[in-house]
Structure 1
Amino acid sequence: MKVLERKNDLGLLVLRLSIGVMMLLHGISKLLKGVEGIKSMVVSQGFPSFIAYGVLVGEVIAPILIIVGFRTRLSAAVLAFNCFVAWFLVHSGDLFALNAQGGWAIELLGLFFFGSLTLFFTGGGKYAMSKKSMWD
C-alpha cells in the first residue's frame, strides 16, 4: 500500500463521521433543551410553530443516517436544507460579514452546508451501510 495513494472512500467516511457527529451534538442539545427558542424564531417569520420540529429531523435523524451511511445523499440534502433554513432565520444578515478574527461570520454553518452538499453530490462511499439506491 502506498502512503500517498488516493483513498476517496476513506475520505468520504471521515467527512460523513465529522459532519454527522458534529451536527448530531447540536441536535442532542435541542432534544435535551427543547425547541422553544426555535419556535419563537419561526413564528416571528410568519411560519407555523410546528415547523420548528423540523430541526430535529435535520440535526438528529439526518446526521445519524449520514454517520451510518444509509441514504447518505438524501440525508445530506436534508442537512443542507436545514443549514439554509438556519441561515435564513438566524444569520441572513451575516452572509458577507466577518467575525472579530477576520473569518467568515457563519463559517461553522458554511462548513456544515458545504460538507453536506459534498456528500449529496458524492454519496457515502464504499464504507456506507447502503450503496444501491440513487439516494445513497
Structure 2
Amino acid sequence: MFSAINNGFTRIFDHPDFGKLLLRLTFGILLLFHGAAKIQHGVGWIASMLAAHGLPGFIAYGAWIGEIVAPVMVIIGLMTRPAAFVIAVNMVVATLLVKTGAFWSRTDVGAWALETEALYFFGGVIIMLLGAGKYTLIRNPRLQ
C-alpha cells in the first residue's frame, strides 16, 4: 500500500528540473531583498564593521556582489554553481561580521538564532551542488 502511494506520488511530482528552477527563483528573489536594502542604505555600516576588524572597507562592496549580482545569476541560471558559491561565502562573511556570538543562541520562540543565515548558506551550497537544471539561460554543454 505504501509503495503504491509512493509510486503514484512519484509519477505525479517527479520534476527535478522544475524543482531546481523553483529553488533558484525562491532563493534568488528572497536574497535580492537583502541586496535592495544595501542599494537603498549603502554599505557604509559594513565598511565600519570591517574596519573594526582591521580589514579594508572596500570589501563591503562584496555584499553587492553576493546579494545582487550572484542572486540574479542564480535566478537566470548564468554560471549558477559559481554564483551559488559566492552567495555561500558571502553568508559566512556576513555571519562572522554580524552574528559571531550567536552560534549557540536561540530566539524567544526557540529557533536557532542563525536559522536564516544557515538557510541561505546551505541553500547556496545545495544550488552549487545541484546546478541550474535544464531551465536556464546558458546550459552546461556536458549535461545536454
Question: Do they superpose with TM above 0.5?
Answer: yes
State the shift of 1:133 in Å: 6.5
1:107-122 equivalences in 2 (<5 Å): 107-122=115-130
Q: 1:8 aligns with which of 5, 16, 19?
A: 16
Task: Give the structure 2 partner of residue 83 of structure 1.
Answer: 91
State the shift of 1:5 in Å: 3.3
1:27-106 equivalences in 2 (<5 Å): 27-106=35-114
Using the alignment, how far apart are the partners of 1:128 and 1:96 within structure 2?
39
1:92/1:29 CA distance change after superposition, 3 Å: same
Structure 1: segments with no counterpart, 5+ residues: none
Q: Secondary structure at the match of 1:4?
A: helix
Query: Does structure 1 residue 18 correspond to structure 2 residue 26?
Result: yes
1:133/1:51 CA distance change after superposition, 3 Å: farther
Number of positions where the alignment pairs a residue of Structure 1 with one of Structure 2: 133
Q: TM-score, normalised by structure 2?
A: 0.87
Q: Percent identity?
A: 39
Q: Secondary structure at the match of 2:94?
A: helix
Structure whose residues are more often helix by fraction: 2
Using the alignment, how far apart are the partners of 2:62 and 2:74 within structure 1?
17
- Is the contact made by 1:73 and 1:121 (CA closer than 8 Å) also made in structure 2? yes
1:9/1:29 CA distance change after superposition, 3 Å: same
AA in 1 matched with 2:37: S
AA in 2 matched with 1:99: T
State the shift of 1:130 in Å: 1.6
Task: Give the structure 1 partner of residue 133 of structure 2.
Answer: 125
Moved over 2 A (4+): 2-5
Q: Secondary structure at the match of 2:55?
A: coil
Using the alignment, how far apart are the partners of 1:57 and 1:133 within structure 2?
26
Superposition RMSD in Å? 1.5
AA in 2 matched with 1:87: T
State the shift of 1:60 in Å: 0.5
